[in-house]
Amino acid sequence: MTTKNEIIREMKNAMEFYKELGFEYLPVKGLGLSFKKERESAPVRKSSPEAGSDKSDKAELLKMLREEIGDCRRCRLCEGRKNIVFGEGSADAELMFVGEGPGKDEDIQGRPFVGEAGQILNNLINKRGWKREEVYIANIVKCRPPGNRAPEDDEVGACMPFVERQIEIIRPKVIMALGNVATQSLLRIKTPISRARGNFFVYKDIPVMPTFHPAYFLRNPKEKILTWEDSAKVLEKLNA
């Protein structure tokens, strides 16, 4: 008798097959199955559907993905960067934070959220009873945009396959999208963060809570309560 897991595995294999053929959408009755075409300039190695179920497997897959990125030259952001900021944390994290892109301190150290905004994020993580090493932190783009500007559409497009693969490998229970770029890029929406925050959305069956980017609170410290409220909903979801 065919098990549920076997059916899911076969469905995933079929979806990958049609994706490779170039289909972006399959009009299956009752389901809207869409595929985002990966840029030919940014290939991402695919694992078998069952890979990544074990923590050690996930860590190895993340390592392989980092090797796949290499000394990335897929967009113009490579021209001014010092370091690629891949992401860090537990490969088995239940909670994943996705930000916009590295800033000056992150570019220097090659680690996400280590500057002033990072201290705010660390404070939130710690006060909610989590540890930084227990969550996973990444960005939409892996290289610092000049002058900390927002990444442009083609830059986001070049890097999206990598953060998507990170999410696929880790399979967190919940994602917190930090700011407009992370929220709009992941969810393919144009809703501003001021309206999206505080409400759960879904990315490939994973609940996503949009909230303000920590850098916002460097200018508006009194608004921190809003992200505190958003994180309370995330905590409730994780404990459900």
CB-count exposure of residue 175 (10 Å: 0-12, 13-18, 19+) = buried
- Residue 56: pLDDT band by 50, 70, 90 thresholds? confident
Domain ranges of the chain: 1-37, 51-239
Whole-structure pTM value: 0.79
3-state secondary structure of 26: strand
Cα–Cα dist 223/227, whole Å? 8
Work out the burial of residue 235: count CB atoms within 10 Å of its CB; fewer than 13 is exposed, 13-18 middle, 19 or more buried: middle
Domain covering 51-239 in this structure, CATH number: 3.40.470.10
Q: Write out pLDDT tens, residues 101-151.
A: 999 999 999 999 999 999 999 999 999 999 999 999 999 999 999 999 999
Q: Tell me: the pLDDT tens digits for 69-94?
A: 999 999 999 999 999 999 999 999 99
